[in-house]
Structure 1
Amino acid sequence: MEQLLDLFVKNGLRPLNWMPEARELEQSVNSSELSALVLLDYYEELTMSELAEHLGAPLSTITSLAKRLVRKELIARSQSERDQRIILVRLTSEGKQLALQAKAILESSLERVQSALTADELQQFITLALKVGRALQQDSKEEKVKPAKSLHKIQIED
């Protein structure tokens, strides 16, 4: 079951969006913010670029998300000691508590899945979930990189 949790967290998938139990947590943060908190709990500290990559969102979107989380006192931002241009983010104690609540909901849901399946079915489910996760990630990355359209010359009359 740890494989599934890793799959969701490491690949930026957002299973909490599908779980009604998470709606209570979304009264204080939205689903994207909640996903960021769970990722930060998993990795402890990320650069803004790494967070954007994990969440599959542009850096500008993650910057505004991070500002909201700082205002809510759920994360702290700091400059890297090695390179002042790099901004690091990590959870505050309040953010850690919220992330742990989200993680508990996710683990509980995964335990229900595990108890409903045989060992063979569970292995097949994990294999398929990994495959689907990769396919979904691949599609989103391909959509971001669209080939440039060829330019056509048009005449403009004076």
Structure 2
Amino acid sequence: MEQLLELFLHNGLRPLGNLSETNELERKVNRSELTALVLLYYRGQLTMSALASGLGVPLSTTTSLVQRLVRKGLAERTQSTLDQRIMNVELTADGRELALQAKSIMENMLARVQAALSQEELEQFLVLAVKVGKALQQGNDQQASGRKDGKLRKIAIDD
């Protein structure tokens, strides 16, 4: 089941979306913020760029999202000691607590899925979920490059 959670997070899917169990958490943070907290919990300290990539959103969106988390006391931004241009984000103790609550909700959700399926069905489900995740990721990569074949093209620029 950890594989499935990682698959969701790696592909920018939101495993907490549309779950009634998250209503209490969503009084404190919105779903995007909650997803960022969970991602930071699983991956630890991340650069702003890595967090944006993990969330599948532009850096500008991540910047405002992280600013809200910092104001709420759930995350901290620190400048990299190696490169002043790089900002790192990590959870505070309150952020970890909220992320743990979200993780518990996700684990309960996945336990319900596991209970509903036989071992063979569960294995098939995981294989299919990985395939779907990869297909979605390939689609995002191709959209990012603006080409269906996924290749970049050179554009001549006149001086």
Normalising to structure 2: TM-score of the pair?
Answer: 0.88
Equivalent residue runs for 1:97-112 within 5 Å:
97-112=97-112
**Aligned pairs, how many?**
149
Equivalent residue letter for 1:60: S
Contact kept in structure 1, 2:40 and 2:91, CA below 8 Å: yes
Equivalent residue runs for 1:135-150 within 5 Å:
135-146=135-146
Contact kept in structure 2, 1:79 and 1:86, CA below 8 Å: yes
Residues 76-112 of structure 1 show CA distances to partners (whole Å, capped at 9, x for unaligned) of: 0000111111100000011001100000000000001
Aligned to 1:42: 42
Aligned to 1:56: 56
Q: Distance in 2 between matches of 1:75 and 1:136?
A: 29
Contact kept in structure 1, 2:75 and 2:90, CA below 8 Å: yes
Aligned to 1:153: none
Equivalent residue letter for 2:139: D
Aligned to 1:155: none
Equivalent residue runs for 1:1-16 within 5 Å:
1-16=1-16
Q: How far apart are residue 140 of structure 1 and its match?
A: 2.9
Q: Distance in 2 between matches of 1:131 and 1:18?
A: 23
Aligned to 1:154: none
Q: Percent same amino acid among aligned pairs? A: 59
In the alignment, structure 2 segments of 5+ residues that lack a partner are: 148-152, 154-159
Larger Rg over CA atoms: 1
- Say which is worse superposed, 18-27 or 118-127, in terms of deviation: 18-27
- Say which is worse superposed, 112-121 or 135-144, in terms of deviation: 135-144
Contact kept in structure 1, 2:11 and 2:136, CA below 8 Å: no
- Say which is worse superposed, 23-32 or 116-125, in terms of deviation: 23-32
Instruction: Please report the RMSD computed on the Cα atoms of aligned residues, expressed in angstroms.
Output: 1.6
Q: Distance in 2 between matches of 1:98 and 1:110?
A: 19
Residues 45-71 of structure 1 show CA distances to partners (whole Å, capped at 9, x for unaligned) of: 000000001111110110011101101
Equivalent residue letter for 1:121: E
In the alignment, structure 1 segments of 5+ residues that lack a partner are: 149-158
Aligned to 2:17: 17
Q: How far apart are residue 11 of structure 1 and its match?
A: 2.8
Contact kept in structure 2, 1:9 and 1:42, CA below 8 Å: no
Q: Distance in 1 between matches of 2:114 and 2:15?
A: 15
Q: Distance in 2 between matches of 1:32 and 1:138?
A: 22
Equivalent residue letter for 2:35: S
Contact kept in structure 1, 2:9 and 2:55, CA below 8 Å: no
Q: How far apart are residue 146 of structure 1 and its match?
A: 2.3
2:74 pairs with 1:74: yes
